[in-house]
Amino acid sequence: MFKCKYFAVAALMLGLCAPAMAEGTSDDGLNFKPAPYMFVGVQGGAQTTFSKNYNNFKLITPTASVSFGAFFTPVIGARLHLNGIWNKGGYDENGLNFKYKYKYLTTNLDLMVNLVTLIGKKDYSKWNVYLITGFGLNTAWGNEEAYAAKQVLPLAYNDTRFSHNIRVGAMLDYNITKNFCVNLEVSGNSLSDRYNSKLTNHDDWQLTAQLGVAYKFGYKKKPVVKEPEPEPEPEVWETRTDTTWFDETIYEDVKRDRDIEKHIFFGIRKDGVDATQAQITEVAEFLKGVENGEITITSYADKGTGNPRINMGYSKKRAQSTKNALVKAGVDEKMIKTVEWKGDTVQPFPENDKNRVSIITGHGVYTAKDPKTVKKFRTKEVRYRVK
């Protein structure tokens, strides 16, 4: 009688879903078809098999499931569901009170109906509620503890026990992304009367509650519906003159000052300067690149050696030698405005040996090119379509 009612409910649900499957409702702007797709999932939670004359809360055990299935439309799907593996039974009569363990594995083929897409007339939702119903095969084994008490449990078995499994349940599902979701499922399972080694003159019932995660895949891309192309209109063209403004950079001559300073160091009692010496060449090149160039030569001697009279003579020779080297290197003598020598009366450097030196300072004016932005425009005749 129960089985007849069960299949009547399943047939009724299929009849209710048929109109929704045919409507082709809104896809909420998705770029993929909400169905068909496939899924794989894992779940974990707890179960209890209701036992006559025993506290069912003491029979709660862990349970786990794996499933593989598909949704053929946004409303209708099916799955192959494997659930197990721990179970308990209990006996509390005639002064005896004990529990026994055994194992089971349920393989079920389930029909899944999405009530949100069925009732809400939509193809896709983040939140979904599924009605689950199905049937399959339950396999139980490892019942040695119950079999050891066969004198009080005459229906206990010591082999592998096969039973039908009729399931009815519901699942709450939330899509984190298009491909991943989390779910909570509660289901009741009807098994044969001898499943838990007891006789109650009706099927045994097992209640499971599990949390899970599923991966959804195999979505198809939603086809792009192209708008029909309008009939071509006769073309009308006109001509206009376009003006384009742009920035252009020009360069203006600007006079700027430029300075140079070079040091020519001498050894003890040395005053010769070579016209090819690097500092002499740099000064000559500097004067070639400026206008109104002029230089000053000031020579020194160090206090650490000699005496003031001798050092004054060395600084004079160094000044003259430096001037001669510059003239030989191509410097116009008119540009040499000052040639002076100070002996050891002035020490330009704190380090004694560096004060055997001729210091050349120069000044001039050079012409620089400064960039300047000006606005310009160009015109162009353009043909354009007005119709």
Residue 22: the pLDDT is 36
Query: Does the pLDDT value for residue 10 go beyond 60?
Result: no
Residue found by looking up tokens 């363990």 in the block? 101
Query: Does the pLDDT value for residue 17 go beyond 70?
Result: no
Phi, psi of 343 (to 5 degrees): 55, -135
- Residues 278-287 have pLDDT tens digits of 999 999 999 8
321 or 92, which is more confident?
Answer: 321
Number of H helices, E strands in the chain: 5, 12
Residue 228: the pLDDT is 84
Query: Does the pLDDT value for residue 320 go beyond 80?
Result: yes
Residue 281: the pLDDT is 93
Query: Does the pLDDT value for residue 30 go beyond 60?
Result: yes
Q: According to CATH, what is the number of the domain 248-372?
A: 3.30.1330.60
CA-closest candidate to residue 331, choices 283, 291, 296, 299: 283
Find out whether 173 and 132 touch, Cβ atoms under 8 Å. Answer: no
- Residues 113-145 have pLDDT tens digits of 999 989 987 888 899 999 999 999 999 999 988
Q: What is the overall mean pLDDT for the chain?
A: 87
Phi, psi of 342 (to 5 degrees): -125, 5
Token pair, residue 217, equals 């895949």
Query: Does the pLDDT value for residue 187 go beyond 50?
Result: yes
**Nearby residues of 120 by Cβ (< 8 Å), 6 or more positions away:** none
CA-CA-CA-CA torsion sign (124, 125, 131, 136): positive
Find out whether 42 and 213 touch, Cβ atoms under 8 Å. Answer: yes
9 or 137, which is more confident?
Answer: 137
The number of angstroms, rounded, from the C-alpha of 223 to the middle of its chain's C-alpha atoms is 29
CATH 3.30.1330.60 residue spans of the chain: 248-372
Query: Does the pLDDT value for residue 166 go beyond 60?
Result: yes
Q: For a pLDDT cut of 70, what percent of the chain falls above it?
A: 93
- DSSP assignment string, 298-355: EE---TTSS-HHHHHHHHHHHHHHHHHHHHHTT--GGGEEEEEE-TTS--SSSSGGGG
Confidence band for 164, pLDDT divided at 50, 70 and 90: very high
Cα–Cα distance, 297 to 312 (Å, whole number):
15
Find out whether 215 and 180 touch, Cβ atoms under 8 Å. Answer: yes
Cα→Cα distances 9→21, 74, 115, 132, 304, Å: 18, 20, 15, 11, 119
Confidence band for 27, pLDDT divided at 50, 70 and 90: low
Longest pairwise C-alpha distance within the chain: 139
Query: Does the pLDDT value for residue 251 go beyond 90?
Result: no
Find out whether 17 and 35 touch, Cβ atoms under 8 Å. Answer: no
Cα–Cα distance, 345 to 362 (Å, whole number):
23
330, amino acid identity = G
CATH 2.40.160.20 residue spans of the chain: 2-217
Residue 35, H or E segment = none
Find out whether 138 and 92 touch, Cβ atoms under 8 Å. Answer: no
- Residues 48-66 have pLDDT tens digits of 998 888 888 888 999 999 9
Token pair, residue 336, equals 């040499």
Find out whether 298 and 359 touch, Cβ atoms under 8 Å. Answer: yes
Q: Which CATH number fits domain 2-217: 3.10.129.10, 3.40.1710.10, 3.40.50.1000, 2.40.160.20?
A: 2.40.160.20
Query: Does the pLDDT value for residue 290 go beyond 70?
Result: yes
